[in-house]
Amino acid sequence: MFSTPGSRLKGAIALSSQVDVRSVEGIKDFRVALAVYAEEALGALGSVSMEARRTVQWVQHDRRNYWVDQVKRRRERVAAARSEVARRRLMKTADSTPAISEQKEILRQAEAGLREAEAKIVLLRKWEPVLQQAVLEYQAGTRRISDLAGGGVPRALHLLTRLVDALEGYLRESPPSLAGTIAGAAFDAVAGSILAEEPEGEITPEPEPEPEPEPEPSEPS
């Protein structure tokens, strides 16, 4: 546990170039804004990632299954239309020629529908890997922001909270003539001492100091 900032710094820093105490309020406001930023950033990144997964799922499964099924159905329609055209032609005799224009139009539309479905399958096969690569590049590009919002910002908020507590403690113990002001050197010293104590990486609770062992008596020579 760190000692009271005022007692640690008392008599160690010469007060000069005073800064208005509202700077502490500014730190508090910045801490709130930083927390809001992290929450909104993580929320936005999560929404985009979820939408990207849905799009990949839609392309790889929903659209693929749909068009594979459509190719099957439309081939059956083409086969049925061709059979009907062939049947109408077989009905032709020397005395009568049945009209087949309607059957030919149905066949033409069926063949156009089949070509469309087959073209969709080709497009899916072409763009599926492109879409997957784009999603991977997006995830790689936003990983730093995600790590910052999910790890770096909480650590910064922890440090800012300690800084505010230390500065407010310093102000409480300042002489009455200096109440309401913080010297620039004092501000830097308080912030520097907190940053020096804070280890890099994950924040862990500070352990209670262990009592120093008593020195063992020296043996007589």
Cβ atoms of residues 6 and 170 within 8 Å: yes
E strand residue ranges, the chain: 18-20, 181-183
Token pair of 106 as six digits: 């149905």
**First and final C-alpha spacing in the chain:** 41
* pLDDT tens by residue, 42-91: 999 999 999 999 999 999 899 999 999 999 999 999 999 999 999 888 88
Distance of alpha carbon 86 from alpha carbon 175, whole angstroms: 107
Distance of alpha carbon 159 from alpha carbon 70, whole angstroms: 60
Cβ atoms of residues 178 and 7 within 8 Å: no
* pLDDT tens by residue, 112-123: 999 999 999 999
